[in-house]
Amino acid sequence: MSINFKGLCDEVKRRATRDQSGTTFDTGIKNAVNFALYRIARDAPWRSLRRKTTFDTVTSYTKSTTGYASITSGSTTVTVTGATFITDGVQIGRKVKLSASGTYYYIKTIPSETTFTIDQEYLNADTTTSTYEILPQEEYVLPLQAGHRIFMWHEGFGYPFRMNYITDIDFYQHGVYLTIKYIPTHYRMWGEDMALNQLRKPSAINIYSSTSADTSIPITVFGEVSGYPDYEVITTNNADGTVAVNGLKTFSSVERIVKNGVTTGRVYCTGNTSDTVSVLPVGDTTSGPLYRKIQVYPLPNKTFPIHLEYYKYPYRLVNDGDVHELGEDFDEAIILMSTAKIKAEANISEGDKFYMMWQDEMRSLKRVNCDKFDWYPKLRRPNSSQSDALASPNLLFRQAGANFGPSSRM
336/82: higher pLDDT: 336
Residues 6 or more apart from 199 whose CB is under 8 A from it? 92, 251, 252, 253, 254, 271, 273, 275, 277
Determine if residue 10 is left, alpha or beta; phi over 0 gives left, psi from -120 to 50 gives alpha, anything else beta: alpha
Question: What pLDDT does 281 receive?
Answer: 84
Q: Transcribe 104-140 into DSSP letters.
A: EEEEEEEEETTEEEESS---S--EEEE-EEEPPP-EE
| Residue 81 near residue 400, CB atoms below 8 Å | no
104/274: higher pLDDT: 104
Question: pLDDT for 120-165, tens place per residue?
Answer: 999 999 999 898 999 999 999 988 778 767 889 999 999 999 999 9
410/264: higher pLDDT: 264
With a cut of 60, say whether residue 392 has pLDDT above it: no
Question: Stretch 21-35: mean pLDDT, rounded?
Answer: 85
**pLDDT band with cut points at 50, 70 and 90 for residue 388:** very low
Domain ranges in the chain are 5-42+327-369, 51-57+139-194+293-311, 69-133, 206-289, 377-410
Using DSSP, state whether 256 is helix, strand or coil.
Answer: strand
Largest alpha-carbon pair distance within the chain? 82
Question: What pLDDT does 189 receive?
Answer: 84
In 3D space, the residue among 201, 190, 198, 178 whose CA is nearest the CA of residue 103 turns out to be 178
Helix (H) or strand (E) holding 382: none
Question: What pLDDT does 351 receive?
Answer: 84
- Return mean pLDDT, the chain: 86
Dihedral sign computed on CA atoms, order 15, 17, 19, 20 = negative
With a cut of 90, say whether residue 234 has pLDDT above it: yes
The whole-angstrom separation of Cα 54 and Cα 353 is 44
Question: What pLDDT does 298 receive?
Answer: 96
Question: pLDDT for 169-186, tens place per residue?
Answer: 899 988 899 999 999 999
Q: What are phi and psi for residue 329, nearest 5 degrees? A: -60, -20
With a cut of 80, say whether residue 325 has pLDDT above it: yes
| Residue 338 near residue 32, CB atoms below 8 Å | yes
Helix (H) or strand (E) holding 402: none
With a cut of 80, say whether residue 65 has pLDDT above it: no
